[in-house]
A and B are shown apart, each in its own frame.
With several copies, the nearest count.
Chain A
Amino acid sequence: MDVVFARPKSMTQQKFHYCPGCSHGIIHRLVAEVIDEMEIREDTIGIAPVGCSVLLYNYLDIDMQEAAHGRAPALATGIKRVLPDRIVFTYQGDGDLASIGTAEIVHAAARGENITAVFVNNAIYGMTGGQMAPTTLAGQSTTTSKTGRKTQTAGFPIRMSEMLATLDGAAYISRVSVHNPAHVTKAKKALRKAFEVQKQGLGFSMVELLSTCPTNWGLKPTESLKWLEENMIPYYPLGEFKNKQGV
């Protein structure tokens, strides 16, 4: 018998601190698998965001920096300019990337900064206890939109992938989901592409991963996957929005 699935080598042995069923775990693993497969563990520098995944550095066995909330793309820029032959990626939540860090991600993309952003969109502020995010769906209830997000006053959920794809510096932008095994496979492929785009020096790459926050959505993990599929995907269509590599 061969081992066909095991813990990636780029991960530490530490147990995740995440809530049961939280997608961060799946996505952490996918990133580690891509690092393993590309054999870049020793050449990669990751940036942890401020969000539930701030402790990413406890789980990935690579060099890492921890950014101020939203500023991971700026850190990545600083690192990549100093070490252009390393692989540099950010891992960011939707509050981090789509709210406070809007300017940093837009300009990293506009500059064609040769880095990769792993963007975990769970439509909520997980770490701070479930407040509305810019990505929160219309009608979705959160601790700061208890009666459901009203677009009239709280605005419309923002589609970062579509927006960033308008920028010339963006080389690869795609949106995937992790709500079932088939999509997890696709998500991994997208991550691999994004890292390859960086390796080839083509410019900015980002993968937006639709994901769950069972705790703050107030749903069971399995219900969360369903909610994601039925509510998030219609508003956040999956697919590639930019691919300079053309593969």
Chain B
Amino acid sequence: MQQEVIVAGFGGQGILLAGQLLAYAGLMENKEVAWFPSYGPEMRGGTANCTVIVSPRRISSPVVEEPSAALVFNLPSLLKFESKVKPGGLLLINSTLVERQPERKDLYAYLVPANEVAQSLGHIRVANMVMLGAYLELTRAVSMASVLKVLEKTLPEQSRYLLPVNQKAMELGAQVVRRATAIGA
């Protein structure tokens, strides 16, 4: 099935990167993929987001209107994107930063304390990987192994040592949702 996911948060939270990893991994699995970011340096500060499509067949429109999943990293993103997710879709909320509960009842929503988990690993910057891990666990959009392969290929030499912590982050993210049940839906 075609996966259409939106990843949204503050700039600096690794939002665009998480999306790219997903797309790369899809490519590696010979799937069709597309990645599209919000853009415009004219908007200083504020939120960043990107949409990713991973699909077994030709992607007609790379523009996602109703994502099948949303990974939201902060409150403004929740407010903006909750309403967009298609009924029956997935909503992953970084509960460390977002105190609010989702409003819609027709979604599968999960609270993932991504920052907390990342912090516990000593690397606040892998919060994005925690969320990605959770998402992959729920959708199998691509395999975690593919994501790791991509990381291996793209991380610069001197950052290679971060591979294990990234893997761990994904696994912990997966664990969180494996144990939880969705709110709503």
Q: Which residues of A contact B (CB under 8 A)?
A: 17-19, 22, 52, 54, 127-130, 215
Contact = CB atoms under 8 A, between A and B. Distances in A.
Contacts of A128: 41
A17 B44 contact: yes
Contacts of B43: 17
Q: How large is the interface on B (under 10, 10 to 19, 20 to 34, 35 or more residues)?
A: under 10
Contacts of A127: 41-42
B156 interface: no
B44 A18 contact: yes
B46 to A, nearest CB: 8
Interface of B: 41-45
Contacts, number: 16
A128 B39 CA distance: 11
Nearest to A18: B44
A231 to B, nearest CB: 23
10 contacts: A17-B44, A17-B45, A22-B44, A52-B42, A52-B44, A54-B42, A127-B41, A127-B42, A129-B41, A130-B41
A128 B40 CA distance: 8
A69 to B, nearest CB: 13
A18 B42 CA distance: 9
A18 B46 CA distance: 11
Contacts of A129: 41
B74 to A, nearest CB: 17
Nearest to A50: B42
Contacts of B41: 127-130
Contacts of A17: 43-45
Contacts of B42: 52, 54, 127
A129 B40 CA distance: 8
A52 B41 CA distance: 9
Contacts of A130: 41
B7 to A, nearest CB: 21
A22 B42 CA distance: 14
A127 B42 CA distance: 5
